[in-house]
Structure 1
Amino acid sequence: MNFLSHYYFDRYNTNSYEVLGSILPDLLKNADKSSNIFPEKHQDKFKQPHEVAILKGWKKHLDVDKLFHNASFFLEHQHQLKLKIKETLKDTPIKPFFAGHIAIELILDHLLLKHQKIDATKLYLHLNTVSKNHIIDFLNLNNVPEQEQFFKFFEMFKKEQYLKSYIDVANVSYALKRIFMRIWPNPLHTEQENKLTQVLIDYIFDIEEKFIIIFDEIERQLLDD
């Protein structure tokens, strides 16, 4: 599940530290793909209100990810997208399963913006509200090395606000290509990129009326826990 989809479950939350925590696992991974911390296993370390709030958001992220990746909606549409993308990815190193997984996550972010289910500006306001020193406290408690690299990415993430661009399908396709390029250098030629964009456009049309089902389902499950 991508940043905006995670934020959906905190769209009414007024605690900026909890909101940060809810996307911090992905922020850390984007800054450094080798990042691997488990604050939920050492909860007694976190004493200060900001530390507890970030941890609460972090744990919610884990819960939402688990529910999302086991949801029938995700499993079905990841598979269907894999089948539709497969021919376009022929003769490339990109795995259709991986492409389908990432594509459905990006599509859901796009649809949340398009149908005004979330306000991305509010997410960035939350991120700009939190204190850098408080984030450092949390990272230090988790023995996170190379914090300079993280904060360089975090500042760029806040400044560029590229998540807002996902309202345009072309930018969703571009984001998908950029994710591929983190693993494989220049895996797609222009014709393949255009075909991939068209697959996404067609698939968005197919699920536009029912995409909110997965968010409603997860929200109910979170309330039940």
Structure 2
Amino acid sequence: MNFLSHFYFERKVNDPHRALGSVLPDLLRNMDRDIRVFPEKNVALFIDDQRISRILKGWCRHLATDRFFHNNVFFLEKTRQLKAHLSPVVANTPIRASFLSHIALELLLDRLLLKDSWLHENDFYGQLQDVDRQSLSRFLELAGLQDTTLFLTFFNAFINDRYLGTYREMAKVTYALDQVCKKFWPQGLNEDKKLQLTDALNVYERELAYNYKVIFNEIADYLSKYYN
């Protein structure tokens, strides 16, 4: 799941550090996909400080959410359906339709949460802004990241940019997908392909909108039972 979908499960808690933890794995990968840290394997290192322990709680809830989501029939069915819509768009390009459908589904879920007012991006960014930077830096150090300066710079820029709210425009979702693809296939999509992608996403979103909340309800129940 993407940033806002993870925040959905933390939005009522009003705990900035837990909210941060719920998106921190993806923030780290967005900055540098080669970063590999596993704080969940050394829980004892993080329990002495309340803020740091709350970050870890959010981190563990993130991992649990992604495991549930990616192994759920909802994910398998929706990515299969979406792949059928996107395969003609990426025909004759190196971009894999299976990869694109995975990322596109996650961004569409974020977009639907915004459109249907289940959350607001200002609440998300506001909680991240309230995070104690020293606690964040210490968490990363304990997790094994030796130099936290680059991430803190990236984190502050991420908050200031506030780009997640632009997902209300489908063309911005297309832009974000193209940027992700360029990390793996530098040529990306040409302008005609981007227009085709936007059209395909609009068509599929109408189908997805009918029952997308099912997966959020299932994950919320799962987290309340095992990761509350």
TM-score (normalizing by structure 2): 0.96
Report the equivalent of 1:173.
174
Q: What secondary structure is seen at the aligned counterpart in 2 of 1:145? A: coil
The question of whether the paired residues in 1 share the 8 Å contact of 2:114 and 2:168 is answered with yes
Report the equivalent of 2:72.
71
Q: d(CA) in 2 for partners of 1:183 and 1:132?
A: 31
Q: d(CA) in 2 for partners of 1:89 and 1:30?
A: 23
The question of whether the paired residues in 1 share the 8 Å contact of 2:31 and 2:151 is answered with yes
Identity of aligned residues (%): 39
Render the CA deviation track for 1:83-127: whole Å, top value 9, x for unaligned. 211111111111111011000000000000000011211111111
Q: d(CA) in 2 for partners of 1:186 and 1:156?
A: 26
Q: d(CA) in 1 for partners of 2:159 and 2:136?
A: 15
Q: d(CA) in 1 for partners of 2:208 and 2:144?
A: 42
Q: Displacement of 1:151 after TM fit?
A: 1.6
Report the equivalent of 2:139.
138
Render the CA deviation track for 1:42-94: whole Å, top value 9, x for unaligned. 00111111111100000000010111111111110111111211111111111
Q: d(CA) in 2 for partners of 1:212 and 1:21?
A: 23
Q: d(CA) in 1 for partners of 2:10 and 2:45?
A: 24
The question of whether the paired residues in 2 share the 8 Å contact of 1:20 and 1:127 is answered with yes
Judge which range, 212-221 or 102-111, deviates more.
212-221
Render the CA deviation track for 1:118-153: whole Å, top value 9, x for unaligned. 121111111111111111110111120342221221
Q: d(CA) in 1 for partners of 2:178 and 2:76?
A: 22
- Write the mapping of 1:17-96 to structure 2, written as runs, cut at 5 A: 17-46=17-46, 47-96=48-97
What 5-or-longer segments of structure 1 have no aligned partner? none
What 5-or-longer segments of structure 2 have no aligned partner? none
Report the equivalent of 1:209.
210
Q: What secondary structure is seen at the aligned counterpart in 1 of 2:186? A: coil
The question of whether the paired residues in 2 share the 8 Å contact of 1:173 and 1:196 is answered with yes
The question of whether the paired residues in 2 share the 8 Å contact of 1:32 and 1:150 is answered with no
Q: d(CA) in 1 for partners of 2:191 and 2:177?
A: 14
Q: Displacement of 1:20 after TM fit?
A: 0.5
RMSD, aligned α-carbons: 1.0
Report the equivalent of 2:127.
126
Render the CA deviation track for 1:161-212: whole Å, top value 9, x for unaligned. 0011111111111111110011111221111111011000000111212111
Q: d(CA) in 2 for partners of 1:191 and 1:125?
A: 37
Q: d(CA) in 2 for partners of 1:28 and 1:38?
A: 12
Report the equivalent of 1:223.
224
Q: Displacement of 1:220 after TM fit?
A: 1.4
Report the equivalent of 1:197.
198
Report the equivalent of 1:8.
8
The question of whether the paired residues in 2 share the 8 Å contact of 1:128 and 1:158 is answered with yes
The question of whether the paired residues in 1 share the 8 Å contact of 2:141 and 2:148 is answered with no
TM-score (normalizing by structure 1): 0.97
